Each structure stands twice: as C-alpha cells, then as structure tokens.
Structure 1
Amino acid sequence: MSPAEAKQQIEALSAELKQHTYNYYVLAMPTISDFDFDKKLETLAALEKQFPGFLDPDSPTQRVGGFITKEFQTVRHRWPMLSLGNTYNEQELLDFDQRIRKAIGDNFQYVCELKFDGLSMSLTYQNGKLIRAVTRGDGTQGDDVTTNVKTIQSIPKQLKHGDYPAEFEIRGEVFMHLKAFERLNQERVENGEQPYANPRNFASGTVKLQDSSEVAKRPLDCFLYFLYAERPPFKTHWESLQAVKSWGFHVNEHSRLCNTMDDVLAFIKEWDKRRFDLSYDIDGIVIKVNSYAQQEELGFTAKSPRWAISYKFKAEQVQTELLAVTYQVGRTGAVTPVANLKPVLLAGTTVKRATLHNANEMLRLDLHKGDWVFVEKGGEIIPKIIGVNMEKRVTGAPTIDYVTECPACATPLTRVEGEAAFYCPNDEGCPPQITGKIQHFIGRKAMNIDGLGDETIEALYQRGFIHHISDLYKLYEQIDDLKKMERFGEKSINNMLDGIEKSKQMPFEKVLFGLGIRYIGETVAKKLAVHFKNIDNLMAATLDELVVAEEIGDRIAHSIIEYFGNEHHREEIKKLKAAGLQFVAEEKEVVLQSEALAGKTFIISGTFEKSRDELKDIIEQNGGKILSSISAKLNYLVAGDNMGPSKLEKAQKLNIPIISDEELMGMIGG
C-alpha cells in the first residue's frame, strides 16, 4: 500500500469509527456489531503502526487511557473560574438589562447560550496541543484531570489548523448524554451497585476516577463556550464562538446573537419548551454581553462577572394521585418500590410511574393510601416523588409500608447492614431472579449469544425449558419440543443453538461476568480472571487472597465467598465446565527480558503511576513470580499508595521486605 492510499484509508476508518462511537453512546442506536467495530479498530491500529507519520492524536485508537492517577494535582487558574449570578423570572432579567444600560449605554448585543448541567472544565492549549485540563474547584484553583479528559472523544488533543494564539485557554462543560446515562446506570443496578442520581453526578464521578482506562469506557462529551488569551484575537464573543468551532472544538449549535432583551426572552421561552427534546440536560440559559471591550468595562464582582447572568428554568413539577406501590425484583434479588400514578403530563411526556428508590425513601415520604403527590423530573431521568400534598390526604387513610416478603415468591426479605436495599435470598426459586440472571448471561457485554433475547428467555422459562444458565447448553436435546413453541420456527431455533454453541469460545472473564455475582462488573471480572487464572483458584480463594487482587475490596471479596459458598452455584459451575465453557484465562506468552528477579516472589498492592498489570508484566518478564497471598513464601511486597492496612500488618509480622515500585525497577537495573 502506498503512503497516499494508507493516509486515505486511515482518515476514512477514523471518521467511520468516530461515527459508530457516536451512534452507540449518544443515540443508543448502534449500526455495527462489537466484533466488527473491534476488527476495524485493529485494522486502523495496524495501519497507524505501519505508517506512524499519519497517526492522529485524535484517532479512536488513542482514546483508551490506561494511566493511574494517585492523586489529582491542584492547579491555580490563570483566569479565575467565577460562577454566574442566577435569575429565576423575567423581572430579574429586566433589572440586569437596566444595570448594563446604565453602565455602557444602549449600543450593545447579547449572546444567549444553553446552560448545560455538567462539570465545568478549563482546557489549556500550547501551539494547538492540549497540555492541561483543570476542574473549576473553588474558582481560584482546581484539580488537574488532563489524563482523564484526553479520553473524551469530542475534545481535540491536537488542533489541525486555524489561526489560533500560541497559547490560550478554553472553557466548557463536560457532560453525559441521557441515553448513555440510562444504559450505564442500568448496568450499575444489575451489578448491585448504587445508581447515580443524574447525568451530572455520573459525569463528575467519572472525571475523578483514578484509572483513565475506566474513564475511556464511559461516554463523556464536552461543549466549549469561552476563549481566554493574553491578547484576545477577536472583538466579540460571537466571533470567537465561530472561530473555535472552525478550529475543531465542539461548540453547541443552539447559541443566538440577540439585539434586544425581547430577543433574549423569546430565546428563553423557546428553550423552556424545547429542552426536553435534547439528548442532554440543560437547566437554563446563559446571557452574555457580546463585546469584549464592553465586558472589560463592566468588570466583575467578587464572585461573578457583571456582564453575564444565567436564567434558571424551574424544575417542572406536577401533582397527581398515587394509585398503588408495586415492587420490581432485579436479577440480584434487590427489591425496588415503584409508585404507580394517575397518568399526568410532565416535561413533555406522560408519566404513569415514578421511582421510590428504597425503603428509606418510602419512610421519608410517609406515603398513605390515596395520597396526592408532587412529581418532578428536573435533573432526574426517571420521574421522582418529592413530597405529599398533606391538604389532600384523606383522614384515617392507612400508611403504605414497604413489603417484608418478596412480591414474586413470598420469601422473607433480608437487608445487608449498611445498604439501603432489601433483597430476596431465594435466587433459585424466584422467577424474576432466575430469568434476570439468564438474560444477563446472554447479554452483549457477557456471553453475547446471538439468536436469544429477553423475551425468548421469558418464554423458554415459562415453558419449562430453562431454570438455570446451564440449561441453555442442553436445549439442543429438545429441538422437537422447541418446534412446538408459538412463533419459534426451525430457522430461529438453529440461529439460537448456533449462538449458544459459539458462546463456548467466550473468554473466562466474560463467563465470570456472565455469572452475575453481585458487585462483579466487567472490569472486576477481568481483574479477577487475570489474577486467579482459573475458576478453581477463584473458588478456593480466602478473604486475604481475594483482597490482594487489584480493585478487590472487602465488599467484593465477601460477595465472591458467599456466592461460591452456595452449593447450587458450585454445582452450576460443574455443569458449565462439562458443557465446554472457558474457565481458564488465556495465558499471555511472557518474553523473558532478563533473569534479574529469577527465584523471587512478589505481591503488588496499592496504586502506582504504572498500572498493577504493567508492574506484574515487568516482574514476570524479568524472571519473577506473582503470588496470590501474603505468606512466608513471599520475598517482596511492592507497596503503593492506599494499600490496605491489614496487608501491611501481615507483611510486617512475617518480616517480609516492603519495597516501592522505584526500588523494584532498581532491582532490574531500570
């Protein structure tokens, strides 16, 4: 392939993969399978390796992260990140307009922009290259989160062209699209983790993760909206917005240049109605004086600029009748109360149900039969009851208490100390848990079984074909009976059986994730597979041996021990082994670089600049061996930040040398 052909193919593949990423994360409408996406990504990576001169810092291959941040460095803002004053009604805006006119006269314009409900971010570029990303913090200084922000697809690492200053700062808002939030939050619920309340919290929590490779897996986006430079190259804010868009920055298309306050008010009214059609949350409108010279003349108060203000939309709230409280049972057994409401229009949609979260929330609301409740959407995706209209409560109406038995199987509920949720412990006999576990197992992120969907699993369970995951691998014995099922033809059956057969080749970490052990998400399953190598080692691991593994704390360790302590689960593993599923991790071939660590054993604990997997590879490549637990056989404990005190204490009792990662590198002469 000629360089010209390679350049053309690299650019085409990059553009295609970026579009597929947008379709998947933002629109929640993937147009390509995961397998095909990965293959295209591999092709692009191979081409970039063969023709490194065409490697673009913004290439999809460069957005994977992989750095561990022990703590975020505090950076002082060159230009303070002040907050805006808020207004909530038309009169307050008119008062703002009058103050502007008294100060600079009547010859000025406003720029109106959507006010995004996200995390404020300041990006610094030198010669077109992103060198620093800092959070707002207290306005004077913030956290350096550059490594994490570089994984965000819409933020350019290197500007391609444009007449931009040698150094400048651009401010914006990091956020998460609603479809992505719903999908990721559902995954957290399925993994037995606490869901985030709204997209802003999810985005903020993601930016502060220590592992940038985890940040890269969460689809964040960023709109940029204000340019700072020592000598601003433009006279107006509107000019700068058009320019930074041409430089390659993601600028929201819904801004408007307004000549009068009437224009501003019209813009506000328009977006108060249209905001629910957006793929992201906004909570108001920002109004700025357009001219930079006039901004400078107006100046600042101690907390905010005098030339800008925000108009905050009221969180839409309605009142409706509570008809009943029902309960959903998840695959982990968590029982969630749901309020069934008299249908009411809220934020552009008809609301019939609202989440009540857990028993604590029901207790706080003190719900009674026949109550009229206030329902709000605001920053929540799922409508939420925020209170009760006490004036409409019927005297003597009975209270609605949280159930004590599982609504699906009548088993008494249990509650883990320190958790808000109640659980049904009858995972072998509770129908929604049984079908939920199998639906999780066949899912795209687990075994990815083609030809099977949630409705098919429900139908197979109702007809008695499946009760456990292992029953999927016996369906080929019941083809004649399957053909008797309604809307289940021979082609559908063959596709399903082919998908089940192919799933036997899925790697150990996918199988482990598919088992649905509480708190074991994709990442944790991968870490466990790498550390313990096979299912037998994992099943036999003690608490001390489990918490040595990367990212495994006490809560996860106890969950694993409890899961494999159940005889039904151990029996299920035997059946899945017999069916031919992969319960051994694929061993990476270790290329020996030296024998500097030959005969020496190590355990790695804590956080480091390198990932623990990198340190493990270094040890093994130099002849060392990684152990799974601290014992007298251990030669060295490699200790990083945030290491568990129990590990440290045990190592000290056994007089095991405790070394840093720098000392480890010194042992191999690096």
Structure 2
Amino acid sequence: MNVRDRIKELTAQLHALNHAYYVENTSEVSDYEFDQLLKELEGLEKKHPDLADPNSPTKRVGGDITKKFATVVHQYPMLSLSNSYSQEEIQEWEARVRKNVEGDIEYVCELKYDGVAIGIRYENGRFVQAVTRGDGTQGEDVSANVRTIKTVPLQLKGNYPEEFEIRGEIFFPLENFHQLNAMREELGEPQFANPRNTASGTLKMQDSKVVADRGLDCLLYGVYGGDLPGTGHFETVATAANWGFQVPKEEKKYIVKTNSIEGIMDFINHWDVERANLPFEIDGVVIKVNDYGQQQELGFTAKSPRWAIAYKFKAERVSSILEEVTYQVGRTGAITPVANLQPVQLGGTTVKRASLHNADQIAKLNLHERDEVYVEKGGEIIPKIVGVNLDARAEDAQPVVFIENCPECGSELKRTEGEAQHYCPNDLGCRPQIIGKIDHFISRKGLNIDGLGTETVALLVNKGLIANYADLYKLTFEDIIELDRMADKSANNMLQGIEASKQVPFEKVLFGLGIRFVGETVAKKIAQSLLTIDKILSATYDELIAIDEIGDKIALSILAFAQNEENLAIIERLKEAGLQLETVAEVKASNKLEGLKIVISGVFEKYSRNELKAMIEDNGGKNVGSISAKTSYLIAGDNMGPAKLEKANTLGVKIISELDFEKMLTGE
C-alpha cells in the first residue's frame, strides 16, 4: 500500500473510532491501539505534509495558533429566542400558534444548553468552518479550536446533503470543569467562575492545543440548508445522528415531540427538577413548532422566530450577609457600587460580590450595613441583590450612604440630571479611567494592538511610562523591556503591534478614542458622514444631529470632548504618530463580472468560499446557490459534489477552476 492510501485508510479508521468512543460510548480498540494508529498517522503526515488532510484526526490534539479570529457573516442569521419565565406565557404562546396555523401541530421540546452557540458548515461531508453566534448577523471563525472537540465530526458518513450548516451549543461538561478548577487550585491559580463563561473563553484561546486539553463538548440540534431531509425539525435532527453528529437523545428525554400543551408542561416540570442531575448546565428549555412549512407560515419578528420560544427556569435564590459596599471606577468615570458578601454557594459557584448598579438601587433596597440580603443570579450568570430580610436587621443598623468623592483620586463626584450613574470628572488624571481608556483604545474593536493587554497597560501606567493612548507611540524597546516578565520577543511584538495600529481604519480609531456614547456603529456612521477628525471636532450641534442615529446625548458628548484642550492635544499627537484620522475612499469594484451568475462548489486551495463570493460581488457578479440554465460559470474545487458537476455538464454550464477565475479578474 502506498503512503497516500495508508494515510486515507488511517484517517477513515480513526474518524470511525473517535465517533464510536465519544458519540456512541463504545470502545472498539484499546487506548494503546488507538494511540499507535494516531502516532503512525502523525508520522506519515510529518514526512508527507502535502498529503495531510485539513480535517485529519491529528487535528483533534490541537497545536494551531490563531493570532486573530476572522469575522464571518452568517448565511442564515442566528436569531435569539424570545424568553418566558412563566408557564402562563408558554400557554399563551401555544394558543397563538394554534390560532395562526391550520391543521395538527407537533411541538419539539429541547433543553436550553448553557454554553456557546456555534454554527458549523459542511461541504461534501467535510468540516469547513465553525463560527460563533456573535451579534447574530456575524460571528468569529473558531474552526481550529472546534476541530479539537472530539464529538464534532470532521468527516461525515451516510447520505448527507451536499452543503449545509448545523448549529448547536459548545459547553463545558461539569466533570471536566471541576477537574480544571481543582488543578488550578493546586497550582495556586484563581479558579474559573462558571462553566459557561469558561467555555466561551476557552473557545477564543489562540492556542488550540490548550483548547483540546480542556475537554469541551458539543451537542448539535439545528440543521440549515436548501436540501434537507424530512419535513420537520425533529426528524432532521434524528437523521443528523446518522451522519455522525452528537445530537440530543430522545431516550434521555433531552428532546421529545408532543402535540399538546400538557406534553410541553410535562417536559418543563421534569427538567425543572432533573436539571440538577445533568452532566452539564442548562438554564431552561426550548419549544419549537416541528413542521418546516408551519414554521414558514408563522414567520419571524425582527429579533426572533414566532415558531419557537424559550422557557427560563427561575433563578436560584440564597441569603448572605452584606459585609461592605465598595466602589469601582469605570473607563468613563462611572462609579459602580459593589456589595461584598459573606461567601455563599449559588448555582454551583461561590459568590462573594454582587453589583448594586447605582445610588438609586441602594436607595430602592433601603440597604443597611450588615443586612441579610437575598442574592440571585441574573440570567443564571451575574449575581444581584434582589431584596433584604428586614426581620433580621439590627435595630442600630446604619443605612448605606453613597460616597461623595472618587475612591481613587478624591475628586468630587458629579451626577447629570436624568442619569442614574455618578461620575468622576477627572477623566485624564484618575488612574482607573486612564487605564480603562487605553485598554478601550487597544481593544479588538478599536486599534486591536497585538502584544498589549490590560495587565501590561496597568504596568505601563504604574511605571509612569504612559498617561494616555498617545503615549503608546513614544514607547521604546528600552522602556518596555524593563517591565516585569517582559522578554525581548514580547517587547518586539508589542512595538510591532503598536506600529501596525497606524494602518487601522479611521472608524476604528474614532471608536478607540473612547468618546462617551460613541460606540462601534455610531463611530462608523460619523466617520462615513464627516470623513475627518478635524471636521468632527469642529462640527456644530446641528451638523452632528443631522447624521443618521446621532441624537442629543451623543452630539453633546462629542462637543464636550472637542472643547477639552487636553483631548485636542492628544489628537494632535496621534496625527504626528501617523494614525488614520480620515476616511479613505473605498476602491470601487470593477464591472468585469457584470451580469454573470456564478456558482461555487468544492474546497479551494488559495481562497476560501467566502473570499470567492466577495470577489464575485466586488466585481459586479452575482452568487447563486444552485445550477440552472441561466448559470454563467461553475467554479469547481476539490471534492465537488457529483450532482452539481453532472447538472453543469447536462446544461452546458462552463466549468472553471480557481485559477481560471483569478485570471478572469486580472486579465492575464
């Protein structure tokens, strides 16, 4: 047997063994035999890298380093579900469904997994891309990390659609989570707060080897595409199990089908009790109309489908003693009171602190020193105080009085009429504000400076090396190398990241400036409308509110920023450093593909499918998903579906390669 065939054989065998062990819970070979097969494959791939499969079982152990997670637009928006906290609301929803749909209705009841939503694309049975939910319209490509999850198949089996996306939840099994925290405790490292946040953080790690070692898991429960089997959600999910996916099991009651409100309530009541015995965390259940046709008939609101609803379990409540109220200063100077509590177990984690939000919340609770307070987890994640046990209050207890001066710099606090928060006005001299503003400036949505994080920013500020974000551009190697735990490579990486930030587009620089109320979307609109920082800083109130979505509050905030001489001096220094402080006109797309309808199929060597689609649209062409007599070209890659190839040949559609397409654009 030649090397190519042996690699293919080992790849197929190991995929099958992985599926049997991690999805079907059956062990067909010993651990030693499995490891020997994996080592053989690793050795062959090392000697013959050109023959290695991108979805090889060796990818399960990780090792890929991802410097930056690319943003990907969802082909099918990942909408959120409307939430309900009472069974009466579920009954009302079910009655509305029956009123708006004719005929018999079946419902699917599922668990609401407390993890990270993921969408995974497959083409011709091969794993192509995994994308997080993000904002529902676009998410981040975390493919390298998701490949390490043993229950996610890299190669499918059976009769699967040519192209589709499957969605589900990546979560941290409780056993693995507790083992990780026990290990961190032994090493003297801080423990993670809860499985959901830890799963999210793990999925965004740059080193996939670390992700592989942590043992994330995945349940997949929604299939999207143009050629799906079955006429209903329940049947399609069951069929997906035959393709190799780990889906919710009916025999474990993770998913059931019912035709009555009584069946829905039975499912809710069962899991309200039994969720404590699950090997993972859930925060509710989801009810969906099963039939795809009825789903289409019911349609969507702007934010969620009308054919599905989530029922959230009531948050667990415990009592604790208020030991002290402390105050945090945010990036914008906002003062947030924090309740420090006697440690108490809540939802599987130890809670020591809870946010009190603002002075009004303290007054509303009529909070007194040493009160016994009731604590819940808002949305099962963030602890909050929801009440006080007045019967347990001491007669001489003193009310909690909100502070008048900044706990960091001593400045007198201000509160603008109509706002809930108190603010420290010393924005350029208050240490947490200085660090917060620089941290915001370097963030991923801002200047996205590699090699520089919150901890390093704090070190630089504490050493007196920087006092604002313009100071970053005067740093030298000699300045940085003196910091604790800073090596030559890290120092050079930081300087390279700072230098590279000079090419970041103006809209991101504007967001990074941290002007109050100017978020990512607002910054983009202002940059596109006024074009330069000088025009923004000299704009009148009327000019600002004339911009789409810019209201009174944002306009006044920009005017206040522009009237501060220290802010203007910092902007001048950013200009001198060479940052992009004006909008660069976009290069107009060519019309070389004007009027052409192009289909993409298969896996490509030089470009991703999304890149090819963008190139088609940028040059006037139109992406189409299926082949017809009106199709102009089929761009064919490796592992293209035979059905598309046959149809293209039958209809006489011209088939071109990735290279042919590139030549069409370059004219070579």
TM-score, normalization: structure 2? 0.51
1:563 and 1:255 map into 2 onto residues whose CA distance is 54
Cα offset for 1:113? Answer: 3.3
State the shift of 1:375 in Å.
0.4
Correspondence for 2:66 among 8, 32, 49 = 32
The correspondence for 2:566, drawn from 568, 572, 576, is 568
Alignment partner, residue 282 of structure 1: 283
Q: Which of 503, 517, 540 matches 2:538?
A: 540
Q: Is the 1:285–1:311 Cα contact (8 Å) retained in structure 2?
A: yes
**Aligned with 2:110 (options 85, 110, 113):** 113
What is the deviation of 1:223? 6.3
Superposed CA offset, 1:389-428 (max 9, x none)? 1111111111111111111111111112222111111001
Residues of 2 paired with 1:82 and 1:531: CA distance? 46
In structure 2, relative to structure 1, the CA distance for the partners of 1:551 and 1:250 (3 Å cut) is farther
- Mapped to 2, the partners of 1:518 and 1:445 lie a distance apart of 15
Structure-2 separation of matches of 1:402 and 1:246 = 61
2:334–2:422 CA contact under 8 A, matched in 1: yes
Superposition CA RMSD, Å = 4.9
Q: What's the counterpart of residue 553 of structure 1? A: 551
Q: Using a 3 Å threshold, how does the CA distance of structure 1 residues 262 and 81 change in structure 2: closer, same or farther?
A: closer
Of 476, 479, 491, which aligns to 2:489? 491
Task: Name the CA distance, whole Å, in 1 between partners of 2:503 and 2:516.
Answer: 24
Partner AA of 1:495 in structure 2: N
Which string of whole-angstrom CA distances, capped at 9 and with x for unpartnered residues, describes residues 215-264 of structure 1?
Answer: xxxxxx99669xxxxxx979xx9657625888999975662569999999
Matched with 1:242 is 238
Confirm or deny that 1:406 pairs with 2:402: no
CA distance in 1 between partners of 2:75 and 2:353 (Å) = 42
Residue 575 of structure 2 aligns with an amino acid whose one-letter code is K
Counterpart AA for 2:379: G
- 1:530 Cα deviation after fit: 1.1
CA distance 1:174–1:549, change in 2 (3 Å)? farther
Q: Residues 509-565 of structure 1, C-alpha deviation per residue, up to 9 Å, x if partnerless?
A: 111111111111111111111111111111110011111222211111111111111
Matches within 5 A, 1:120-139: none
Rate the CA distance shift 1:419–1:268 in 2: closer, same or farther, 3 A: closer
CA distance in 2, matches of 1:436, 1:310: 36
* 1:635-650 to 2 correspondences below 5 Å: none
Q: Structure 1 residues 310 and 523, CA, compared in 2 at 3 Å: closer, same or farther? A: closer
SS at 1:331 equivalent: coil
Give, as a single letter, the amino acid of the residue that structure 1 aligns with 2:70: F
Three-state SS of the structure 1 residue aligned to 2:70 is: helix
The CA distance in 2 between the partners of 1:233 and 1:492, in whole Å, is 55
Q: Indicate which of 481, 506, 509 corresponds to 2:507.
A: 509
* 1:105-504 equivalent positions in 2, closer than 5 A: 113-114=110-111, 242=238, 255-256=254-255, 268-274=272-278, 277-278=280-281, 282-283=283-284, 313-476=313-476, 479-504=477-502
Distance of 1:529 and 1:310 partners within structure 2: 39
Aligned length: 395
- CA gap of 1:554–1:310, structure 2 versus 1, over 3 A, is closer
DSSP 3-state at the match of 1:400: coil
The change in CA–CA distance for 1:383 and 1:177 in structure 2 (over 3 A counts) is farther
Structure 2: segments with no counterpart, 5+ residues: 1-53, 79-89, 96-106, 116-134, 142-157, 162-166, 173-195, 197-218, 224-229, 291-308, 592-668
Aligned to 2:579, the other structure's residue is in SS state: coil
For the residues of structure 2 that align with 1:429 and 1:541, how far apart are their CA atoms?
Answer: 27
C-alpha contact (below 8 Å) 1:224/1:249 kept by paired residues: no
Deviation per CA, 1:249-297, whole angstroms, max 9, x where unpaired?
Answer: 997566256999999977553314549x43xx63358799x9xxxxxxx
Contact 2:511 2:518 in 1 (8 A): yes
Gaps of 5+ in 1: 1-14, 21-28, 42-59, 66-79, 86-109, 119-147, 155-160, 165-172, 179-198, 200-220, 226-231, 291-308, 594-670
Q: Is the 8 A contact 2:268 2:285 kept in 1?
A: no
Deviation at 1:451? 1.6
In 1: Cα distance, 2:326 partner to 2:257 partner: 50
CA contact (8 A) 1:359 1:402 kept: yes
Provide closer, same or farther for how the CA distance between residues 176 and 357 of structure 1 changes in structure 2, counting only shifts above 3 A: farther
Q: Give a deviation string over 1:45-81, Cα, whole Å, max 9, x none.
A: xxxxxxxxxxxxxxx574689xxxxxxxxxxxxxx99
Name the SS of the counterpart of 1:339 in structure 2. Answer: strand
CA distance in 2, matches of 1:248, 1:406: 58
- CA displacement at 1:310 relative to structure 2: 11
Q: Secondary structure at the match of 1:434?
A: helix
Give the AA of the match of 1:356. Answer: L
- Equivalent residue letter for 2:535: N
For the structure 1 residues 151 and 176, does the alpha-carbon distance in structure 2 shift closer, same or farther, using more than 3 Å as the test? farther
Match of 1:578 among 576, 579, 583: 576
Identity %, equivalent residues: 46
CA separation of 1:238/1:516 partners in 2, compared to 1, >3 Å: closer, same or farther?
Answer: closer
Do 1:316 and 1:378's aligned partners in 2 also have CA atoms closer than 8 Å?
no
Quote the Cα distance in structure 2 between the aligned partners of 1:460 and 1:488: 12
Name the counterpart of 1:121.
none
Note if contact 1:224-1:251 (Cα within 8 Å) is conserved in structure 2.
no
> Amino acid of the residue matched to residue 424 of structure 2?
C
CA distance in 2 between counterparts of 1:364 and 1:326 reads 18
User: In 2 relative to 1, CA 175–401 (structure 1 residues): closer, same or farther, beyond 3 Å?
Assistant: farther
Going from structure 1 to structure 2, the CA distance change for 1:255 and 1:61 (only over 3 Å counts) comes to closer
Q: Distance in 2 between matches of 1:310 and 1:515?
A: 39
Taking the aligned partners of 1:258 and 1:347, their CA distance within structure 2 comes to 29
Give the Å deviation of 1:33: 3.7
Partner of 2:99: none
* Conserved 8 A contact 2:111-2:255: no
State how far apart, in whole Å, the 1-side matches of 2:327 and 2:369 are. 16
> Could you say if the C-alpha distance between residues 536 and 393 of structure 1 is closer, same or farther in structure 2, counting changes exceeding 3 Å?
same
Q: Which amino acid aligns with 1:564?
A: A
Secondary structure at the aligned position of 1:571 is classed as helix
- Opposite residue 111 of structure 2, the aligned amino acid is L
Alpha-carbon distance change, 469 to 152 in structure 1, aligned in 2, over 3 angstroms: closer
Superimposed CA distance per residue, residues 604-639 of structure 1 (whole angstroms, 9 cap, x where no aligned partner): xxxxxxxxxxxxxxxxxxxxxxxxxxxxxxxxxxxx
Partner residue in 1 for 2:7:
none
CA distance in 2, matches of 1:454, 1:353: 22
Alpha carbons of 1:176 and 1:371: their partners in 2 closer, same or farther (altered >3 Å)? farther
Opposite residue 32 of structure 1, the aligned amino acid is T
Closer, same or farther: CA 464–588 of 1 in aligned 2, 3 Å: same
State the 1:460 CA deviation.
Answer: 0.9
Whole-angstrom distance in 1 between the partners of 2:339 and 2:436: 22
Write out aligned runs for 1:581-592 (5 A): 581-589=579-587
Match of 1:616 in 2: none
- Paired residues of 1:340 and 1:352 also in contact (CA < 8 A): yes
1:528 matches 2:526: yes
| Aligned residue identity for 2:434 | I
Q: TM-score, normalised by structure 1?
A: 0.50
Q: In structure 2, how many angstroms separate the alpha carbons of the residues matched to 1:576 and 1:162?
A: 58
Q: Does the aligned pair in 1 maintain the 2:438–2:469 contact within 8 Å?
A: yes
Given residue 353 of structure 1, which amino acid in structure 2 is its aligned partner?
Answer: R
- Given residue 531 of structure 2, which amino acid in structure 1 is its aligned partner? K
SS of residue in 1 equivalent to 2:382:
coil
CA–CA distance in structure 2, aligned partners of residues 592 and 163 of structure 1: 38
